[in-house]
Amino acid sequence: MSTFTPNINPSLPILDELAPALRPAPAVRPQPTPPLPMTRKEMLARGWEEVDVVFVTGDAYVDHPSFAMALLGRLLESEGYRVAILSQPDWRNCDAWRTFGRPRLFFAISAGNMDSMINHYTANRKVRNDDAYSPGGKIGLRPDRATLAYCQRAREAYRGVPIIAGGVEASLRRLAHYDYWSDKVRRSIILDCKADLLVYGMGERAIVEIAWRLQAGQTLRDLRQLRGVVYRLGAKETPPGENTITLPSYEQVLSDRWAFAEMTKISHNETNPYNAKRLAQFHDRECIVANPPPVPLAETEMDRVYSLPFTRKPHPRYGNEQIPAFEVVKDSVQIMRGCFGGCTFCSITAHEGRIIQSRSQGSILSEIRQMTNDPDFKGVVSDIGGPTANMYQMRCTRPEVEAKCRRLSCVHPTICKLLGTDHGPLVQLMKAARDEPGVKKVLVASGIRMDLARRSPEYMRELATHHVGGHLKIAPEHTDPDVLALMKKPGIEDFNKFDQEFKKVSKQAGKKQFLVPYFIASHPGSTLDSMIDLALFLKRNHYAPDQVQDFIPSPFDIAACMYHTGLDPFTKKPVYIAKHLRDRKLQRALMQFFKPENYFEVRRALEQAGRQDLIGSGCDCLIADRPPKEALDKRRKRANDAVREQIGGDHIRSKPGGGYRPLRKSAVKRERDRR
């Protein structure tokens, strides 16, 4: 069946072993092959009577390396396993789970490329209008907390088939965690979804290892030694004692915010795969155990994974129906994964890790050549990057120190002196990519890490001269130094210096280009005063952001712990939190103070902060004394909508100029009589 042979001795403790390497990429990049089957008819057409693994995913099936189900499915296929994809099944019964018959090895369950709750709801807990990972952007094709529903249906469909949960949702919820949408602390997801095993992080090595072991006749208990897995102990079992840290229990973190903060501190300190310990956490009498994170993939392994024969297109069953997330990445190339920035509000490091894993230049260029063979390719590589645009091949220069380091960010509060920040390999790659025949332009759309970029004048010149399509995305996130410190982001002066340098090199290249800065409202530590300072910064620098980001506490993130507890988990110092919806609306409005419809929210924020000096016609004033017509229209519409909801009618008319009183006694009496 498979040529994969693990080099792990089952008798060895996990901390004394490294995971086996994946086979290297073939010398010649293989041609695309048909996508994995999505229907029983497609399965039978391949001559299969059964499959080994059924991938269940909350996303539409896109055979592109940016989509997890495609990458992992193709990897198992290359090892000789028969894999089928069950995409966005109807979870209301288990019929769809029986499409391919009983899988011989296991069900692989994932909510998709995003946590399903973040996918479904805005920061204001309102249902989103679209789903970027669904055909046509349609909503409602996956349930809330999709991992739970999918695992339960898999158990109903075929008793006794192992269920392996993974993906972003499982990674972020592997321990007891704060859930923003229910506003409570929830148990580890493995207890609620009843999966046999949970794989967290990037799962290539783990899923191949699991398939090999089950194929060899090993049991689920034999899989407990693998890195990057979480499992549940039986009632009579005790956690491993050696190299294991017992976290505060679920009951403790549920009732004690200090215990929750301590759990967060410990779990984030144990994320370096070279020195991390096991984590054990009791939930009443049950205990879950999280093994140390997976070892990062080497360059040869990254090349293998990204050289698989992807079609780089959605499955043909979708026809001409567009999948918005695919449209964004279809002509992009991922050159690395991981991020050592350690931003407290970001889930990248919680899932992909802090150690950068890069592909070789040859592997990246061969993928671009494959893209140029596609008749639909227009000659523009839309992005050459990853979680960030400029961490390619950057690692600690002292491996012996890296193996002991517990620093959560290599660049905050200052850039570590042992961090290799050479942009040379990236500059060489960018030059080679744009010189490929059939390539007209190679853009950089991933976020630039500004403090690193400024260290390389050559990179700045190359970027501005050849790789920006008029606008460059960057993420200073805030202006307040205390908020930026809680975020683990550099000060705003770093953005100002980058802005000056970017304008300078753009002018030298004879181009007029602009930065598109991203900022976050309502992040822990962000007060009305700090948001007013941000609004003043935007006005003085002539920035008018079309899109603003409201902070959403993602499970497992450090900032989510701050939001829930009001404490910095590492210092236990209090942190201001804008928890009420009305406070969050004011902060969001301040970032778009220039929009007439935000007038009354901005005015309320300024009056509440005692900053009436910013109301008027002065050069620094954010709003005028008198509200614009658009603001009055919005307020009138909001009042009318509230009345419609209250009385259940749709007969209310807006009368321009005001003067209509929908709640006067006579109107209420008439409505009562009508009913």
Q: pLDDT below 50 — which residues of the chain?
A: 1-19, 650-663
pLDDT recorded at residue 6? 42
Which amino acid would we find at residue 500? Q
pLDDT recorded at residue 671? 59
Q: May I ask the CATH class of domain 331-460?
A: alpha beta
Task: Establish whether the linkage from the previous residue to 413 is cis, with ω within 30° of 0.
Answer: yes
pLDDT recorded at residue 9? 35
What is the DSSP secondary-structure string of 357-377?
A: EE--HHHHHHHHHHHHTSTT-
Which amino acid would we find at residue 533? D
CA 176 to chain centre: 19
Residue with tokens 């989510």: 560
What gap in Å lies between CA 145 and CA 85, rounded to an integer? 20
Phi first, then psi: give them for residue 239, nearest 5 degrees. Answer: -65, 150
**What residues have CB less than 8 Å from 314, skipping those under 6 apart?**
60, 61, 62, 63, 135, 323, 326
pLDDT recorded at residue 668? 55
Shared fold status for 14-231 and 331-460: no
Q: For the domain 14-231, what is the CATH code?
A: 3.40.50.280
- Cβ atoms of 549 and 508 within 8 Å: the answer is no
For 456-482, write each residue's pLDDT tens digit: 999 999 999 999 989 998 999 999 999
- pTM of the entire predicted model: 0.90
Break the chain into its structural domains and give their ranges.
Answer: 14-231, 331-460, 468-627, 633-674
What gap in Å lies between CA 614 and CA 34, rounded to an integer? 62
Give the bridge partners for 229, in sequence order.
199
Phi first, then psi: give them for residue 83, nearest 5 degrees. Answer: -125, 135
Residue ranges with strand state E in 299-340: 313-314, 332-334, 336-337
pLDDT recorded at residue 165? 98
For 541-587, write each residue's pLDDT tens digit: 999 988 789 999 999 999 999 999 999 999 999 999 999 999 999 99
Structure tokens at 49: 């009577």
What gap in Å lies between CA 76 and CA 83, rounded to an integer? 7
What gap in Å lies between CA 14 and CA 277, rounded to an integer? 10
CATH T-level topology, domain 468-627: Transcription Regulator spoIIAA (3.30.750)
**What residues have CB less than 8 Å from 586, skipping those under 6 apart?**
528, 531, 601, 602, 604, 605, 608
Residue with tokens 């004692």: 241
pLDDT recorded at residue 180? 96
